[in-house]
Structure 1
Amino acid sequence: MTIELLNTGLDTIWVVLTAAMILLMEGGFALLEAGFVRHKNNVNIIMKVFADITLGTLCFYVIGFGLMYGADMLGLIGTTGFTIKGDLSHLDFSISLETFWLFQAAFVIAVISIVSGAVAERINFRAYLLYIILMTALIYPIAGHWIWGGGWLAKLGMLDFAGSAVIHALGGFSALAAAMFIGPRKGKFTATGTSTIALPSNLPLASVGAFLLWFGWFGFNAGSTLSATDVRIGHIAIVTMLSAASGGAAALLYTLFRYNRSDAPSVINGSLAGLVGITAGCAFVSDQAAILIGAVSGLLMIAATNWLEAKRIDDPVGAFPVHAASGIWGTLAVGLFATDGGLFHGGGWQLLSVQALGLVVFCVWGFALTWVGLKLIQLIIPVRAKEEEEEIGLDISYHGIMAAYQEHEFINYEHEYPNIDQENHKK
């Protein structure tokens, strides 16, 4: 066996394993979001995650991958590689195209799952299915081509190692657009604008979800090397750990001293914010910079959460504060702290300027395309659940009588839920 063949085998194993780690993050999303929302919507959260995985994977295979990684046209879109066929000779990896596709498919599923949490408890399930197709086939792949597919931002020199901008900032601003378009949950804000609290159904469940996401993030970041023999893997792993710890610690200490209590949801989301913040620069910044990036990410998450409340925008799981606010900071932090080209390492303003340009483009693209997409979907089917469906809960409304936590051994469907279309919801 030659050294080259051995390296190919090791790289293949590494990428497949890290892709599986990223896919396990969907279990994290499911538990995190289910724990943050009310019991009556837990099954709906799970079903949306399964829809992300199933429909999203197929859409990316048929259309998205070609638009993202196909032969470049004018720096804007790919034109080959649909269903992983056609001319993809420009993709020069030691691993096979199938292995590379698997890793990238895990990424696209994560993007759509960001939006899922922001519209929890009130989106029409059928409308959400249409949005999955839009995001995984068009919105994310086209933007991804600009930075990772050899497009115009890559040619300008933008750096986003594992996706603070193209995954998290784009996904976070898509989530913001969706939350604004669909409106807040019934009863979330009073007529005078005062915010009410919808208590999480299961914080231990949410914390387990966060731990699964934390675990999967090592695949997210370190797996982006696409090589088991890349000497940067250890460094990427440690800065990922430090930033997550710093983000959680910042949220813990801030809430402890600001409110005289350590707020569990804030600490959970603070750790996730730290993970988002380091994703762009995990291969480019020092350990010390990672700690600073994580701490600022955790504090920005809290500030963005307060901003949403002030603007009466309902985001039940904190998708925008965690992914957009931290993604913005993490992307800009590369321009500041990158050891090769960063402003604070003698690199001047060039890299920071490119990072800022790319960031604005991704945020505007995600927000605008999501808003327009939902407008188009609205012409086909209502985007928001009916008032009675939201009141009863989306578990019962869209998934039969299968509730996450059963309170009755037998249910008389017509008696318990007379306002729901019986034929559409009976099993």
Structure 2
Amino acid sequence: MITITAADSLLALAPSAIETLAPSTVAESASAAEALTALKTQVDSNALTANNVWMMLATALVFIMHLGFAGVEAGFTQAKNTVNILFKNTLTPAIGLLSYAIVGFMIMYPSEWIFDGIFGIGFGLTPPVDAEGALNLGYNTGYTYWTDFLFQGMFAATTATIVSGAVAERIKISSYLIFTAIYVSFIYPLIGSWHWGGGFLAELGFYDFAGSTLVHSVGGWAALAGIIILGPRIGKYGKNGEINDFPGSSVPLAVIGVFLLWLGWFGFNGGSVLSADPATTSLVLVTTSLAACAGAVSGILTANFVFKRLDLGMGLNGILAGLVGITAGADLMSPLEAIIIGLISGALVVMAAVALDRLKLDDCVGAVAVHLACGIFGTLAVGMFGAKAGLEQFQHQLVGVAVAGAVAFGSSFTIFKVLDLIWGIRVSAEHEKAGMDSHEHGIRGYTIVYDE
């Protein structure tokens, strides 16, 4: 960055300097100016390459989060539904990325607003061309148009994956996949356009660095709508208020999934710098990790106080809670503030999980507690901690949370309800009791063969 600035300054001075030189030195000075121009071109090219490589690496890290979600969901749910969980997590990024490519991308980044700041249409997969009609892949000074699409597409698919775990073990696979296609095509990009696309939330002053609201709580609101309409799993809540915990298929798999998600968050938050700027990127990775660590400790301590046991599941969700909580302001917080946000998020996820059970809202993996509750808190934390802290900023954050929440929940509830009225979104009681794998897929996730 310093090199580019120096080259720009020298190049700007070159014409006036040439005019003041004697004729005998004009030719030499012109050559120097040409050399500076060539140097600036090379520096710009190197910067573009470095930024683009980092953004592509960040994209790959966000992609690996889908494997993390698959591990968490399959590990925390019952063995009889493992294949169903993995099937959904295989098709979610596929359908999500296709939906975003065909429709979502052009809605999320409008080049022309139809309703100012609310709805517009962009270029989509037909990028702009220059005056000569040549393809212009330079979306901005940091990275290419195609890299931007793929990075943003991974975010879109991640939003849909949040819903998968909450509604697991009783939703029809067809209904889930249709919901995913609609949500990623229209709802997620519409809400995203209001801030990241330069819409009215951006003009208001709302701030969400990497998506505590635009990704996590938007997915969390959809998950909440889904579990309300679906209802709890058979036998989850007893008549006398008892809560039955169904054993997960694999605790090790859940742990692996969480650590894969933590790894992916380096790309999720680190890539949201939108360049390879060393100072900002390194700070973001530090605040992200410290919040995750604090969330783990806080989740375990809070769960121990509430449940009187060292609860590994709450420790794992505490990690995710800290990650979600820091996402909105990861570039604004000091390391100490990141730790505070992580501590609050880890406690919040336990309290939210307890509250959901008391309301008999059955969330198989704690997706609503992690992504919705901590997504809301993380967004509001921008107004409470860090470089933008203040009453006015807090009010902007509150407006963004409220608007995004109303649209995300309202649209999700409507989509699920319409699907339920058309053909139903829940499997039969017989299929639910026997397990989704045998009825929907014909194979089991775990098979032990004994030699006779």
TM-score, L = length of structure 1: 0.91
Whether the 8 Å CA contact 2:127–2:145 is kept in 1: the answer is: no
Out of 260-269 and 237-246, give the one that drifted further: 260-269
Any residues of structure 2 matched to 1:383-422 within 5 Å, and which? 383-400=425-442, 402-407=443-448
Superposition RMSD in Å: 1.8
Q: CA deviation at 1:86?
A: 5.4
1:214 is the counterpart of 2:262 = yes
Name the CA shift for 1:376/1:82 in 2 (closer, same or farther; >3 Å): farther
Is 2:303–2:350's contact at 8 Å kept on the other side of the alignment? no
Map 1:85-100 to 2 at 5 A.
Answer: 85=127, 92-100=140-148
Of residues 296, 314, 336, the one that matches 1:266 is 314
Equivalent residue for 1:5? 45
AA aligned opposite 1:321: A
Do the aligned residues in 1 keep the contact of 2:416 with 2:425 (CA within 8 Å)?
yes
> Does residue 282 in structure 1 map to residue 330 in structure 2?
yes
Tell me which amino acid in the other structure corresponds to 2:403.
Answer: V
Q: Name the CA distance, whole Å, in 2 between partners of 1:117 and 1:93.
A: 38
Work out the CA distance in 2 between the residues paired with 1:40 and 1:404.
7
**Pairwise CA distance, 1:208:** 0.5
Aligned equivalents of 2:308, 2:223: Cα separation in 1: 31
TM-superposed CA distance for 1:409, in Å, is 8.1
Quote how far apart the aligned CAs of 1:78 are. 2.8
Give the distance between the partners of 1:289 and 1:282, measured in 2 at CA.
Answer: 10
Counterpart residue identity of residue 20, structure 1: A
In 2, the alpha carbon distance for the partners of 1:213 and 1:104 equals: 17
1:421 corresponds in structure 2 to none
Q: Which moved more, 1:371-380 or 1:324-333?
A: 371-380
Are residues 161 and 387 of structure 1, via their aligned partners in 2, closer, same or farther at CA, if it must alter by over 3 Å?
Answer: same
- In 1, Cα distance between equivalents of 2:301 and 2:361: 26
Question: Which residue pairs with 1:416 in the alignment?
Answer: none
- Report the CA distance between 1:224 and its aligned residue: 0.6
**Other-structure match for 1:120:** 168
Letter of the 1:224 counterpart: S
Q: 1:36 aligned to 2:76? A: yes
Give ranges in structure 2 of 5+ residues lacking alignment. 1-40, 130-135
Q: Aligned in 2, Cα 1:257/1:378: closer, same or farther, shift over 3 Å?
A: closer
Q: C-alpha separation between the residues in 2 aligned to 1:258 and 1:151? A: 43
Structure 1: distance between partners of 2:158 and 2:413: 20
Q: Any residues of structure 2 matched to 1:123-138 within 5 Å, and which?
A: 123-138=171-186
Select between 374-383 and 156-165 the one with higher mean Cα deviation.
374-383
Deviation at 1:38, TM superposition (A): 0.3
Deviation at 1:262, TM superposition (A): 1.0
Q: 1:10 to 1:265 in 2, by over 3 A?
A: same
CA offsets 1:200-258 (integer angstroms, 9 cap, x no match): 12111101100000000010001111111352011100000110000000112223344
Per the normalisation by structure 2, the TM-score is 0.86
Alpha-carbon separation, structure 2, partners of 1:11 and 1:90: 12
Question: What SS does structure 2 have at the residue aligned with 1:82?
Answer: coil
Q: What is the correspondence of 1:5-404 to structure 2 with a 5 Å cutoff?
A: 5-73=45-113, 74-85=116-127, 92-339=140-387, 341-343=388-390, 349-400=391-442, 402-404=443-445
Q: State the 1:320 CA deviation.
A: 0.5
* TM-aligned CA deviation for residue 377 of structure 1: 1.7
Specify every segment of 5 or more residues in structure 1 that has no aligned partner in the other structure, as ranges: 344-348, 411-427
Check conservation: 1:28, 1:213, Cα contact below 8 A: yes
1:365 offset after TM fit, Å? Answer: 1.4
* Separation of aligned partners in 2, 1:296 and 1:245: 12
The one-character-per-residue Cα deviations of 1:64-87 (angstroms, maximum 9, x if unpaired) are 000001224211123122334458
Percent of aligned pairs with the same amino acid: 38
Kept in 2: contact 1:66–1:84 (CA 8 A): no
Large movers: runs of 4+ above 2 Å: 82-94, 191-194, 254-261, 378-381, 407-410
Contact 1:163 1:280 in 2 (8 A): yes
Higher radius of gyration, 1 or 2: 2
Aligned pairs, number: 403
CA contact (8 A) 1:78 1:149 kept: no
